[in-house]
Chain A
Amino acid sequence: MSDQLLTPGFTHLDDEGHASMVDVTEKAVTQREAVAEAYVQMQPETLQLIVSGGHKKGDVLAVARIAGIQAAKRTSDLIPLCHPLMLTKVGVELTPEPERDRIRIEAICKLAGQTGVEMEALTAASVAALTLYDMCKAVDKTMVISGTKVLEKKGGKSGHWVLESDSSAPVEERKTQPAVTSVLPQEIFEPEVRKGSPTIQVKFFAQLREQVGMDEYQVPMNQLEKYTVAGVKQWLLAQHPNWDTFLTQKSLLTAVNQNMVKGDAGINEGDELAFFPPVTGG
């Protein structure tokens, strides 16, 4: 129901932080489409029972599919700030994946309207998964629902959006992604540097140290475009755009492995790179 997923800030909160439904009266009517998926992991015997149609509750997949479609139509009743929509298409597909002991659920929702339909697709996938659980819980209580996410979204001001990366597996099977928002630079940074991966140690001194708010930084070599001092600066600025005024000062001095360098210079794995203001000892 919302394009808000892709725009910064919370559009469902007003200026005073109160929950509010977005006014879409003036928004253009466009063809909207969203695809979401979810997985239900289960014991091999459970999956076998479902596939063979031997379950005593009947055709589990067919019931879950209908449940998903029904749920999409009720999304605005469940999600408080979601607009009621006149869906033009709801499709729910359940695909057994015996090699991975799970069922994959894909939901697609379409509409010609003024607001997106990803909440409907997510709700359809979620409720289809819940229904699977409900129908099979008597034989398997260890089932796990996971990997619920939006795969694709079309229409509206964000245009065509497709989830990046190989996301055919539930979240826990993929490598842990580093946290992206609302954490200190060091905290973003730590998970990216895996043990044993080559790094460059960057040091800051004096006024520069105070301006950037840290005295050391480990820069992962594999994230550099160029193995030079300029390449490291470029990477640091990409991580911290607000360092621009400090790190690009003409008077700034640079040392590689404790030797002053002028202009740009090459760097290698394990090097110690230092940036500092003109010296004022004596």
Chain B
Amino acid sequence: MSRFSVSVQSESFDIGQISADISEGRTDIGAIVSFTGLVRDFNEKPDVTALTLEHYPGMTESALDNIIQQACERWPLQDVRVIHRVGRLTPGDPIVLVVTASAHRLAAFDACAFIMDYLKTQAPFWKKENTDYGDYWVSARESDQNAAARWVENTETTEHVNSKAQEVNHESA
């Protein structure tokens, strides 16, 4: 049974500390993969000066728990940590951290990507970006939906992706 933890917080995080915490006293972990998302100074508009993250207290945590649970069902994971910051952040600030630990690298890599893809499309967080030209709510991207859809099998979304893939094949043929 794997360990995992979820935290929605305004404070920053220390990835070295978390990595050390995961491996401390264990010799069965063969791979630790981490993803850190940072605030960019450009997005839908240039010159992003800051962003404010809103979440749905309660639902956000349970949505993240649920995503990790799904990852644990797909891959043999020994530890998973997800930290997501909320409130006001400025360019360069770390915003999200996903760390996965497994005996083998492939499981750790895939699970980390899976958790990030699902987090971006299912966990209730919303970004509002502040620029020199005004504030705006960031819109959802189709590329994020497609990234999440690649993990789904036998659903409408996969069929959609598959039909796209077939189109591409058809063209190349």
Judge whether A17 is part of the interface by a CB distance below 8 angstroms.
Answer: no
Complex: chain A residue closest to B57, CB-CB:
A258
Chain B contacts for A207, CB-based, 8 A: 126, 137
Question: Which B103-129 residues sit within 8 Å CB-CB of chain A?
Answer: 116, 119-128
Chain A nearest Cβ from B38, distance in angstroms: 11
Chain B contacts for A276, CB-based, 8 A: 56, 124, 126
Report the interface size class on chain A. Answer: 10 to 19
- B interface secondary structure, majority: mixed
Complex: chain B residue closest to A203, CB-CB:
B56
CB atoms of B121 and A279 under 8 A apart: yes
Chain B nearest Cβ from A251, distance in angstroms: 7
A-B contacts at CB below 8 angstroms, number = 68
CB atoms of B58 and A281 under 8 A apart: no
Tell me the bound Cα distance from A203 to B54 in angstroms.
Answer: 13
Chain A nearest Cβ from B57, distance in angstroms: 10
Chain B contacts for A258, CB-based, 8 A: 56, 58-59, 62
Judge whether A176 is part of the interface by a CB distance below 8 angstroms.
Answer: no
Chain A contacts for B15, CB-based, 8 A: none
Judge whether A196 is part of the interface by a CB distance below 8 angstroms.
Answer: no
A281 touches which one: B120, B137, B139 (CB < 8 A)?
A: B120
B53 touches which one: A255, A259, A278, A281 (CB < 8 A)?
A: A281
Question: Could you show 19 A-B contacts with beta carbons less than 8 Å apart?
Answer: A203-B56, A205-B54, A206-B128, A206-B137, A258-B56, A258-B58, A258-B62, A259-B59, A279-B122, A279-B123, A279-B126, A279-B140, A280-B126, A280-B137, A281-B123, A281-B124, A281-B125, A282-B95, A282-B123
* Chain A interface residues (CB < 8 Å from chain B): 203, 205-207, 251, 255, 258-260, 274, 276-282
Additional A-B contacts beyond A255-B59, A278-B139, A278-B140 (18; CB < 8 A): A205-B54, A206-B126, A206-B137, A207-B126, A258-B59, A258-B62, A277-B126, A279-B120, A279-B122, A279-B140, A280-B125, A280-B138, A280-B140, A281-B124, A282-B95, A282-B116, A282-B119, A282-B123
